[in-house]
Structure 1
Amino acid sequence: MGRGILRIYLGAAPGVGKTYAMLAEAARRQGRGTDVVVGFVETHGRAVTAALLDGLEIIPRRTTTYRDASFTELDVAAVIERRPRVALIDELAHTNVPGSANTKRWQDIEEILDAGIDVISTVNIQHLDSLNDVVEQITGVPQRETVPDEVVRRAEQIELVDMAPEALRRRMAHGNVYAPEKIDAALGNYFRVGNLTALRELALLWLADKVDDQLDRYRADHDIRGTWEARERVVVALTGGPEGDTLIRRAARIADRTKGTDLLAVHVTRSDGLTDANPAHLTRQRALVESLGGSYHQVVGTNVPEALLDFARGVNATQLVLGASSRGRLAQLLSRGVGVTTTAQSGSIDVHLVTHEKAKQGRRWKALRESWGVPARRRNAGFLTAAIGLPLLTVLLGLLREQFSLASEILLFQVAVIGVALIGGLYPAIFAAVAGSLLLNYFFTPPLYTFMVHAPEALLQLIVYVVVGITVSVIVDLTARRSREAARAQTESQILSTLAGDILRGEHGGVAIDGRRESTALAGILERLRETYGLTAVTLLERDPDEPATPATPRDPDAWNVVATVGGEPCTTPDAGETDILVAEDALSVVLRGRTLPAADRRVLEAFAAQAAVALRHQRLAQEAEQVRPLAAADKMRTALLNAVSHDLRTPLASARAAVDSLRSPDVHWSVEDQDELTATAAESLERLDRLVSNLLDMSRLQAGALGISLRPIAAEDIVPRALGDGTGTVIRIPDGLPEILADPALLERVLANVIANAARHSPPGEPVLVTASTHADRLELRVIDRGPGIPAEDRDRVFEPFQRLGDRDNHTGVGLGLALSRGLTEAMDGTIDIEETPGGGVTMVITLPAYKAL
């Protein structure tokens, strides 16, 4: 048989009706004659759900014993042996009892699917691995049961069981989800309207991505290249020019018109590695598009319109934003350009051509001069070579007139033109070709010493000479220019890749920031900039927020603040011939001091400046996050405290009040025995309340650093019995001759009492808690050993967090501060408390404190 089909009912929260929907589907299939069995279904005591099990065959569960307790699990072998057509298996993310063949239930389901049996299962959105931390952040409740997203994504069918938050809360209030005693706590914590709304949105978005994947696979399998407007996606094309900021903001406004629209920015890089894009602009624009909730992409292609449309169709884009052409009118007449060509070939994709300040400006004279491709010194040398060399060649050929024909003389002049092209580039070569044609005409073409040409063949030779000379000059100049561009592009890419690598590896030096010496990624960028270009100092300036937005560059030192500097004193104003200014952002500038840098280095310099701005932004975000972290921790602690106080402090208070009210009731006459029992109940409850309040107050003092500590030597054999109370169920084995402990006796007694009480609570009946002591170097170790169920390795740190009650099945045994307080008190006495596994099962708490005689 082939592999079975997996169908999953996905819910945003418990109680939305996943199991009910699964059982209703089973009843429908059974009514059509399908062989359906129940492998494992958990009704959670809900009568309406349990009623749907009537008439369905239930496979008996497998019973497993673990640490003297019995558990029931899915019997995989029984389901496979029964070989139904469909098996119902609830709770996909469930963790099996240790000793089972598989750790997780989804692994059991994989076995059943491999046997050719269809499976219907359920899972909540909070159990997906990728969303586990997000759900914990939203609800404050960690989820230990998880399932890999890929397991759920592989399901052939996923159906969302949706319910509005208000409807789910009404269901809970009517007792259809939890037992009555749990309703108030659930509604006030996990099942708040805000939590349920956020979980519902997570489920909808996750399922939308799953549907998106299915749609992409369908289009790929059926070779569908046209755009299906199932979801709006806006693609903005970036050239690497300054107009990109305008295009991105325009595309973002288009995307904002429809909620849920994706924004993608793409830059097409030429396959030869040569590009006119400015790395600084692309870096800034990438940060901008990501800050607007979009994503940045880079593709390689020789034909920009084709590469752009291939990308847009590949992501199923519905709209494409392009900038209006920046070429002049003459250039647009000769070639349609990227915008017009893309629009003509876009098909069903809507194209927006956005005007900007660079549109239709054409190439200015400065850009034309830069296109000459050679420095002015070499260009001048080319003109000088032509001016001197061509007359000398004319004189030499005039002396040897009888030995050369006109064709040979033209070839020699052609060689001279090529030499001028190699030295000075295109324009000196054109000058040499035209001047050479005139010299050939005047001195060597009959009739001599005139510019007349009588023979048609000679005229043709001169014309061919000029055309070939100019053509060869263009090719030689273009080749030389491309070679130089490739070398410069390689150098720039090496510099930028080194910069990116340093940032990623965290290689950075010290930098003066706000009068302090700090080590930051920003320092690495500035130091790398200074080293690469041999500068004496590099300073990052930020405009005073109270100053006007113009001018963009720092001219007035009072309007700018020094953010960071490397290599010397901060430079805030330009010195003649020594300072250059780079605009990183509207409010940020990088000032360079040292040698004058050529204009050709401007692109990489601006890329450094843009990276410095990004690094500063990340640094400040990290600082803000660091400042917020204590507030978040305090808020988390306050929330946990309120949750704990709302139940655990109220329980003993309610018991004491009930006992006192009963004693004060005038309608009942209590016997002496009853009065004693009620009084004892009130006293016990108040004592418990006193312990809880003391723990809360001590934890608050620890966190505030206001706990008074008085260290003095004390013997282990003296302090341990005092911490036991009545000593029931505890065995003490402390050898003689141990050194005294340097500790606060009262605090150490609290620590031991909490730890021993915790061990006794988890020890099985008839297994006493063992307390031992030993020395290690200059420390003394107290060990509290129990034979309880133990603590998994991954939870050993969590048991010391406040308000954690791992293993308390009734969840009514305190606010979970005992071990957290014990660790805090121990560390306050310069000690440690750790967890080890007891050989044969159980937990050993190791309390380590300084030994007195070692001091």
Structure 2
Amino acid sequence: DAALSNYFRPGNLTALRELALLWVADRVDEYLKEYRNEHRVSRIWGSRERIVVGLTGGPEGRTLIRRAARLAEKGAGGEVLAVYISRSDGLTAASPKELTVQRTLVEDLGGTFHHVIGDDVPSALLAFARGVNATQIVLGVSRRKAWQYVFGPGVSATVARESGPDLDVHLVTHDEMGKGRGLPGAHGGRLERTRVVRGWLVGILGPVLLTLLLDLAAPEVGLANDMLLFLTLTVGAALLGGLWPALASAVFGSLLLNWFFTPPLHHFSIADPKNIVAIVIFVGVAVAVASVVDLAARRTHQAARLRAESEILSFLAGSVLRGETSLDALLDRVRETFAMESVALLEREDEVAPWTCAGSVGPAPVCRPEDAEVDMPVGDDMALALSGRVLPAEDRRVLAAFAAQAAVVLDRQRLQEEAGQAHALAEGNRIRTALLAAVSHDLRTPLAGIKAAVSSLRSDDVAWSEEDVAELLAAIEEGADRLDNLVGNLLDMSRLQTGTVQPLIRAIDLEEVVPMALSGLPDPEASVLLDIPQRLPMVSVDKGLLERAVANVVENAVKYSPATTRVLVAASAMADRVEIRVVDRGPGVPDEAKDRIFEPFQRYGDAPRGAGVGLGLAVARGFTEAIGGILTAEDTPGGGLTMVLSLRCVPGRAAPDA
């Protein structure tokens, strides 16, 4: 009644239902993921709503994350995965500070953040979405201005076109659309292919068009002005395409100047020495400008590359600080970051021993470092093996950091396992020590009484009366019963510790069990008040285990109750369960000790020596849980302790109406 009125309210029941649905969805999703990996299924199977948010590092990312979170809420337990794709050459326009803010936001909303490297952003985004079995992609409307669409359709349009029928793409409007992307944060030394092509066009076609224009429209401009115009084209080629287009433009421009504008015309010869000096200066200035631009591009590339690496390493360090120490999670992050098919952490005992897999993610992981496209050694006997594609040399430095962290995580997991084993050994030693203490005292006490009584009976020096003999025999019987009870509890605890308890569950009436459980007490009628209604439903239990559990609980209650007060053993039905309540009026147990009294070899308070080894309640709880019941302790109103033993009713036979 107290639980119905205080806990099982509509709000709590609704929350429990939602938790159960989420748990079932997670289990189904795990099985589906294993099946897809085993059978190498690449198509998307929408078992649940999984929404991927494509981030660029711009301020519009916060709007996209919140929109995706709302879509996930409508999808009854949907999952949000925010992904930021950076280029392998370090080109990025993202703000690290903004990415950090967005990562915190998506994690606060219950999602996950992922950092992936890919040169083709639409392809990398679609590959990530299909790899995680996503059902929807949320992207922002492009920030490019209208004239910038002449260079291509953009990421959003490309993803929408290539997503296929199994992926829904949402384009979300925001305040930043149409305002332009601004200048990128870094330019690599390995320039984009489109920029290099533009540089060659400016460096080769530009001088040709300029020559035609000057020869036909302005033949009298003068050689000095002609050189400045050609030098402008060379600088433009250097800014766009780098060193080689600029050098080609300088050489080709000098030849055109010599042929068309330097007397004698239409000959590769120069009559005036001043013109020779001018052309040499022109070529030197062009080469110098091209070299400076190329050097600046290389330095900028190095800075951008280091910036990209620092972002990845900061994410790795953040995962460590947040306690993400799972080896599988770390290997999965490696697979996502470097766009690999599978990742495995391999180890061996020595140089001649075979490799073994300590952990892996992805389908068909390799078993040897030699079989992988990329292997990163960690010491002499451990290696991180990646399959899928060959990584460039500059990526190996970041991969080395992941490999070192994977080795640390593996060592930490093993240390935790060893600590758990050490804890189990320590617990076993504690139980053995307590057992020895119990054997040395609690078992020896009834043995000493039995021996003394037997020795007295066998003595010829004393003539015992019939009353004395009866008293000595009663002492022997009482000591034997105590020994039997103690040894029985020890054997029961050993069965529970080794997991050899095999209950035989069948339908039982409580009237068949509870009176039998009280028969072991010295005077059950004087010490126990029994209240078992006749209309109680039958329960699904093991009769022998339930009898031992009830007997131990009642014996404990009688031991701590006042001699003038009887222990109440009452039963009642509630929903699909039956509760047996053992109520005593003893000193009671504080809340912080209620769980501790069910541990083996624990006796609360000032229990006298010889009162038992502290196994009764531990055995009772073990047997109760073995038959599918629950044993808890509550305070008795007015003082004392109430043990509540909750059992399952027989299916289809509910409790009668109150």
User: For residues 718 and 564 of structure 1, what CA distance do their matches in structure 2 show?
Assistant: 54
User: What is the CA-CA distance between 1:817 and the residue it aligns to?
Assistant: 0.2
User: What is the CA-CA distance between 1:678 and the residue it aligns to?
Assistant: 5.3
Given that 2:188 and 2:301 are in contact with CA atoms closer than 8 Å, whether structure 1 keeps it comes out as: no
User: For residues 192 and 273 of structure 2, what CA distance do their matches in structure 1 show?
Assistant: 36
1:403 counterpart = 2:259: no
- Counterparts of 1:437-836 in structure 2, within 5 Å, are 449=270, 470=288, 474=292, 476-477=293-294, 480-481=297-298, 484=301, 488=305, 492=309, 521-535=326-340, 537-540=341-344, 542=346, 544-545=348-349, 547-548=351-352, 560-561=355-356, 566-571=361-366, 579-618=373-412, 620-621=414-415, 631=425, 633-660=427-454, 680-707=474-501, 709=503, 715-717=509-511, 719-724=513-518, 725=521, 726-727=523-524, 728-764=526-562, 766-810=564-608, 812-836=610-634
Given that 2:583 and 2:642 are in contact with CA atoms closer than 8 Å, whether structure 1 keeps it comes out as: yes
Q: 2:236 aligns with which of 397, 401, 419?
A: 419
Give secondary structure in 2 for the equivalent of 1:816.
coil
User: What is the CA-CA distance between 1:772 and the residue it aligns to?
Assistant: 0.8
- Taking a change above 3 Å as real, the CA distance of residues 742 and 389 of structure 1, as seen in their structure-2 partners, is closer
- Taking a change above 3 Å as real, the CA distance of residues 770 and 398 of structure 1, as seen in their structure-2 partners, is same
Q: Which amino acid in the other structure matches residue 755 of structure 1?
A: V
User: For residues 544 and 234 of structure 2, what CA distance do their matches in structure 1 show?
Assistant: 101
Q: Which amino acid in the other structure matches residue 189 of structure 2?
A: G
Residue deviations 1:584-611, cap 9 Å, x none?
Answer: 5533344444444444443444444445
- Counterparts of 1:328-477 in structure 2, within 5 Å, are 373-374=189-190, 402-404=220-222, 406=224, 408=225, 411-425=228-242, 449=270, 470=288, 474=292, 476-477=293-294
Counterpart position of 1:243: none
Q: Which amino acid in the other structure matches residue 494 of structure 2?
A: S
- Taking a change above 3 Å as real, the CA distance of residues 747 and 386 of structure 1, as seen in their structure-2 partners, is closer
Residue deviations 1:763-801, cap 9 Å, x none?
Answer: 345433111111223432211012233323332222211
Unaligned stretches of 5+ in structure 2? 1-94, 97-186, 654-658
Given that 1:441 and 1:452 are in contact with CA atoms closer than 8 Å, whether structure 2 keeps it comes out as: no
Counterpart position of 2:167: none
User: For residues 249 and 272 of structure 2, what CA distance do their matches in structure 1 show?
Assistant: 17
Residue deviations 1:373-424, cap 9 Å, x none?
Answer: 2259777986896577668868977886742474x55644553343233234
- Taking a change above 3 Å as real, the CA distance of residues 732 and 471 of structure 1, as seen in their structure-2 partners, is same
Q: Which amino acid in the other structure matches residue 374 of structure 1?
A: R
Given that 2:527 and 2:558 are in contact with CA atoms closer than 8 Å, whether structure 1 keeps it comes out as: yes
User: For residues 523 and 506 of structure 1, what CA distance do their matches in structure 2 show?
Assistant: 14
Given that 2:350 and 2:381 are in contact with CA atoms closer than 8 Å, whether structure 1 keeps it comes out as: no
Given that 1:731 and 1:771 are in contact with CA atoms closer than 8 Å, whether structure 2 keeps it comes out as: yes
Q: Which amino acid in the other structure matches residue 838 of structure 1?
A: T
Give secondary structure in 1 for the equivalent of 2:606.
coil
Given that 1:429 and 1:470 are in contact with CA atoms closer than 8 Å, whether structure 2 keeps it comes out as: no
Residue deviations 1:209-252, cap 9 Å, x none?
Answer: xxxxxxxxxxxxxxxxxxxxxxxxxxxxxxxxxxxxxxxxxxxx
User: For residues 366 and 203 of structure 2, what CA distance do their matches in structure 1 show?
Assistant: 47
User: For residues 547 and 537 of structure 2, what CA distance do their matches in structure 1 show?
Assistant: 18
Q: Which amino acid in the other structure matches residue 637 of structure 2?
A: P
User: For residues 455 and 273 of structure 2, what CA distance do their matches in structure 1 show?
Assistant: 133
Q: Which amino acid in the other structure matches residue 492 of structure 2?
A: D
Q: Which amino acid in the other structure matches residue 416 of structure 1?
A: L
Q: Which amino acid in the other structure matches residue 540 of structure 1?
A: A
Q: Which amino acid in the other structure matches residue 425 of structure 1?
A: G
Aligned-pair identity in percent equals: 50
Given that 1:541 and 1:572 are in contact with CA atoms closer than 8 Å, whether structure 2 keeps it comes out as: no
Residue deviations 1:295-339, cap 9 Å, x none?
Answer: xxxxxxxxxxxxxxxxxxxxxxxxxxxxxxxxxxxxxxxxxxxxx
Give secondary structure in 2 for the equivalent of 1:403.
coil
User: For residues 609 and 356 of structure 2, what CA distance do their matches in structure 1 show?
Assistant: 57
Given that 2:571 and 2:580 are in contact with CA atoms closer than 8 Å, whether structure 1 keeps it comes out as: yes
- Taking a change above 3 Å as real, the CA distance of residues 429 and 736 of structure 1, as seen in their structure-2 partners, is same
User: For residues 573 and 701 of structure 1, what CA distance do their matches in structure 2 show?
Assistant: 45
Given that 1:784 and 1:844 are in contact with CA atoms closer than 8 Å, whether structure 2 keeps it comes out as: yes
Q: Which amino acid in the other structure matches residue 691 of structure 1?
A: N
Given that 1:430 and 1:470 are in contact with CA atoms closer than 8 Å, whether structure 2 keeps it comes out as: no
Residue deviations 1:623-671, cap 9 Å, x none?
Answer: 6666666555444432332233333223333444455556667777777
User: For residues 613 and 598 of structure 1, what CA distance do their matches in structure 2 show?
Assistant: 23
- Taking a change above 3 Å as real, the CA distance of residues 593 and 689 of structure 1, as seen in their structure-2 partners, is closer
User: For residues 380 and 421 of structure 2, what CA distance do their matches in structure 1 show?
Assistant: 27
Given that 1:834 and 1:846 are in contact with CA atoms closer than 8 Å, whether structure 2 keeps it comes out as: yes
Residue deviations 1:240-277, cap 9 Å, x none?
Answer: xxxxxxxxxxxxxxxxxxxxxxxxxxxxxxxx98xxxx
User: What is the CA-CA distance between 1:686 and the residue it aligns to?
Assistant: 3.6
Given that 2:442 and 2:609 are in contact with CA atoms closer than 8 Å, whether structure 1 keeps it comes out as: no
User: For residues 358 and 650 of structure 2, what CA distance do their matches in structure 1 show?
Assistant: 51
User: What is the CA-CA distance between 1:683 and the residue it aligns to?
Assistant: 4.2
User: What is the CA-CA distance between 1:449 and the residue it aligns to?
Assistant: 3.0
Q: Which amino acid in the other structure matches residue 639 of structure 1?
A: T
**If the length of structure 1 is used for normalisation, what is the TM-score?**
0.44
Given that 1:763 and 1:787 are in contact with CA atoms closer than 8 Å, whether structure 2 keeps it comes out as: yes
- Between 1 and 2, higher relative CO (CA 8 Å, sep ≥ 6) is seen in 2
User: For residues 450 and 674 of structure 1, what CA distance do their matches in structure 2 show?
Assistant: 149
Given that 1:372 and 1:425 are in contact with CA atoms closer than 8 Å, whether structure 2 keeps it comes out as: no
User: What is the CA-CA distance between 1:539 and the residue it aligns to?
Assistant: 4.4
- Counterparts of 1:159-308 in structure 2, within 5 Å, are none
**If the length of structure 2 is used for normalisation, what is the TM-score?**
0.55
User: For residues 580 and 777 of structure 1, what CA distance do their matches in structure 2 show?
Assistant: 61
Q: Which amino acid in the other structure matches residue 699 of structure 1?
A: M
User: What is the CA-CA distance between 1:844 and the residue it aligns to?
Assistant: 1.4
